[in-house]
């Protein structure tokens, strides 16, 4: 069995599975549903108990896929999904109004084929809806048994505090990896003070940190990475130096680059639970085996000193949706 991490009162396998790329954003999305379902089943067979999806992935197709895969295998799996990027109330843009939270959750339950979501996240903070109202709606869903635990994604420390004061937040999801160290300065200390877990998304740097992407050549024309600053404008070539540094540690450890990237996240603490994304059975085997990869203090220190990434982690449009509010909204 895989070891577990604590996300507030929720326990999950230290390595989870991100399902997004099976239906959206990356090369091959939606092409091989049968392989995707085999990939999810294989993850469960290997002890993964944490599967991450969202209403907006597809939209809807990813939750349907996860629902199909979990048919007959729902027990013991922490199903995490997210709302707030799709509006069912006719409002433009982000929508975390109580009415939309409820409408979104009902749709998610239907698509996932379940009567409860184990971890329901607000996907992005809605500047036009006070976080207290959103979390109040989530607390109602918890009281009704439709949601077990609640989470936030890309919320600022101030918003996290305000939300947690209304109802305990189990997990904060944000980008965290060897080339995205942003949460360490202000987010992680607040999470630890409040007893909230951290779920690093894109823990493999959208695949870049595995060494598998050395140019854009193999990527589909609509692959999201083609517009990401870290992969464009000469930054991809500059960032290959980071891959070389990770490779040097991987060779010393006798592990793959993906495993080192995940083991470094696990070394940050028992309240960290990354959700690497893959559409392939063999890569689930590789990624989950990171649970057994131990880095020495010296190796962690070398990884901490990697050359910083060239390029912002998001383009301007995506950056604008990241909550930086000092007093929430």
Q: With CB under 6 A as the contact rule, which of the stretches 12-20, 185-193, 228-236, 264-272 interacts with ligand NAP? A: 12-20
CB half-sphere exposure, 14, CA atoms < 13 A: 21
Q: Which of 107, 157, 277, 311 binds ligand NAP (CB under 6 A)?
A: 277
| Burial class (CB within 10 angstroms; exposed 0-12, middle 13-18, buried 19+) of 151 | buried
* Nearer CB in complex with ligand NAP: 31/143: 31
Fill in the per-residue mask, 162 to 201: x = in contact with ligand NAP (CB under 6 A), - = not in contact: -----------x---------------------------x
If one asks whether residue 202 binds ligand NAP (CB under 6 A), the answer comes out as yes
* Nearer CB in complex with ligand NAP: 276/311: 276
If one asks whether residue 223 binds ligand NAP (CB under 6 A), the answer comes out as no
If one asks whether residue 204 binds ligand NAP (CB under 6 A), the answer comes out as yes
Classify residue 98 as left (phi > 0), alpha (psi -120 to 50) or beta: alpha
Q: Which of 212, 220, 245, 300 binds ligand NAP (CB under 6 A)?
A: 212
Fill in the per-residue mask, 42 to 61: x = in contact with ligand NAP (CB under 6 A), - = not in contact: ----------x---------
**DSSP structure class, residue 306:** P
If one asks whether residue 20 binds ligand NAP (CB under 6 A), the answer comes out as yes
Q: Indicate the angle between helix axes 98-112 and 131-143, nearest 10 degrees.
A: 40
Number of residues counted as binding ligand NAP (CB under 6 A): 27
Q: Is 176 a catalytic residue?
A: no
Which of 197, 194, 163, 212 has its CA nearest to residue 274? 197
In angstroms, give the least distance from the CB of 237 to ligand NAP.
19
Residue 169 bridge partners (DSSP): 150
| Among 57, 121, 176, 201, the one annotated catalytic | 57
| Burial class (CB within 10 angstroms; exposed 0-12, middle 13-18, buried 19+) of 251 | exposed
Q: With CB under 6 A as the contact rule, which of the stretches 142-150, 158-166, 236-244, 283-291 interacts with ligand NAP? A: 283-291
Q: Which of 84, 276, 311, 328 binds ligand NAP (CB under 6 A)?
A: 276
DSSP SS3 for 220: coil
If one asks whether residue 210 binds ligand NAP (CB under 6 A), the answer comes out as yes
Per-residue tokens: 325: 């509010």
The sign of the CA dihedral 130, 131, 136, 140 is positive
Edge-to-edge order in the sheet of strand 169-175 = 17-18, 50-52, 78-83, 117-122, 147-153, 169-175, 197-201
Q: Alpha helix (H) ranges present in 196-323?
A: 235-253, 257-266, 281-288, 297-304, 316-320
If one asks whether residue 207 binds ligand NAP (CB under 6 A), the answer comes out as yes
If one asks whether residue 289 binds ligand NAP (CB under 6 A), the answer comes out as no
If one asks whether residue 311 binds ligand NAP (CB under 6 A), the answer comes out as no
Residue nearest to ligand NAP (CB): 18
| Burial class (CB within 10 angstroms; exposed 0-12, middle 13-18, buried 19+) of 240 | middle
Indicate which residues carry an active-site annotation: 57
Q: Which residues contact ligand NAP (rule: CB under 6 A)?
A: 18-21, 26, 52, 153, 173, 201-207, 210, 212, 258, 275-280, 283, 286-287
């Amino acid at each position: 069995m895989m070891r577990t991490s604590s996300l507030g009162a929720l326990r999950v396998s230290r390595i989870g599975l991100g399902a997004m790329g099976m239906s959206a954003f990356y090369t091959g999305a939606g092409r091989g549903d049968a392989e995707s379902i085999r990939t999810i089943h294989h993850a469960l067979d290997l002890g993964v108990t944490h599967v991450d999806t969202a209403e907006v992935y597809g939209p809807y197709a990813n939750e349907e896929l996860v629902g199909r895969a979990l048919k007959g295998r729902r027990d013991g799996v922490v199903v995490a999904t997210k709302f707030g990027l799709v509006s069912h109330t006719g409002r433009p843009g982000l929508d975390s109004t109580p009415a939309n939270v409820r409408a979104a959750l009902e749709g998610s339950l239907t698509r996932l084929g379940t009567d409860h979501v184990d971890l329901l996240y607000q996907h992005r903070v809605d500047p036009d809806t006070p976080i207290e109202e959103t979390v109040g709606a989530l607390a109602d869903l918890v009281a009704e048994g439709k949601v077990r635990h609640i989470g936030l994604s890309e919320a600022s420390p101030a918003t996290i505090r305000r939300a947690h004061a209304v109802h305990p937040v189990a997990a904060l999801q944000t980008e965290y990896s060897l080339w995205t160290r942003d949460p360490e300065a202000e987010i992680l200390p607040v999470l630890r003070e409040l007893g909230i877990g951290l779920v690093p998304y894109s823990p493999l740097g959208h695949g870049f940190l595995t060494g598998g992407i050395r140019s854009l050549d193999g990527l589909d024309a609509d692959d999201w990475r083609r517009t990401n600053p870290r992969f464009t404008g000469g930054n991809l070539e500059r960032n290959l130096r980071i891959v070389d540094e990770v490779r040097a540690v991987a060779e010393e450890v006798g592990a793959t680059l993906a495993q080192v990237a995940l083991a470094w996240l696990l070394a940050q603490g028992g309240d960290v639970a990354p959700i690497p994304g893959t559409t392939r059975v063999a890569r689930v085997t590789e990624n989950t085996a990171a649970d057994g990869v131990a880095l020495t203090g010296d190796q962690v220190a070398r990884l901490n000193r990697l050359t910083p990434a060239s390029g912002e982690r998001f383009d301007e449009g995506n950056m604008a949706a990241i909550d930086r509010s000092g007093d929430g909204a």
